[in-house]
């Protein structure tokens, strides 16, 4: 699975993207796996209220099933105006 990081998440993790073997059932479960990878990952995912995700290009909640997803992107909330 391709994992993409945007904005301050990319800066905190220190990567724009990485490849992981499938194994998490939801984005929330994937976050727990990612937090164990490094101090940067742990810091980036410490506050889930500051996190949004998209699975295969569709914005979804952290508890959405990943199924056969090939790509997940994590990014901060955004506003328009």
Distance CA 13, CA 64 (A): 23
Classify domain 2-75 by CATH architecture: Roll (3.10)
pLDDT of residue 25: 96
Extract the tokens encoding 76: 């901060």
Instruction: Label residue 80 by pLDDT band (50, 70, 90).
Output: low
| CA-wise closest residue to 18 among 42, 40, 34, 36 | 34
Global pTM reads 0.93
Q: Where are the domains of the chain?
A: 2-75
Kindly state the average pLDDT of the residues 7-18. 96
Per-residue pLDDT tens over the stretch 50-73: 999 999 999 999 999 999 999 999
pLDDT of residue 31: 97
Res 23 pLDDT > 90: no
């Amino acid at each position: 699975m391709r994992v993409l990081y945007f904005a301050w998440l990319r800066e905190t993790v220190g990567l724009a993207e990485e490849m992981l073997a499938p194994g998490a059932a939801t984005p929330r479960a994937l976050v727990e796996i990612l937090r164990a990878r490094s101090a940067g990952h742990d810091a980036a995912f410490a506050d889930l209220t500051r996190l949004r995700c998209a699975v295969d290009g569709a914005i979804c909640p952290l508890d959405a099933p990943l199924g056969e997803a090939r790509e997940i992107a994590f990014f901060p909330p955004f506003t328009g105006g």
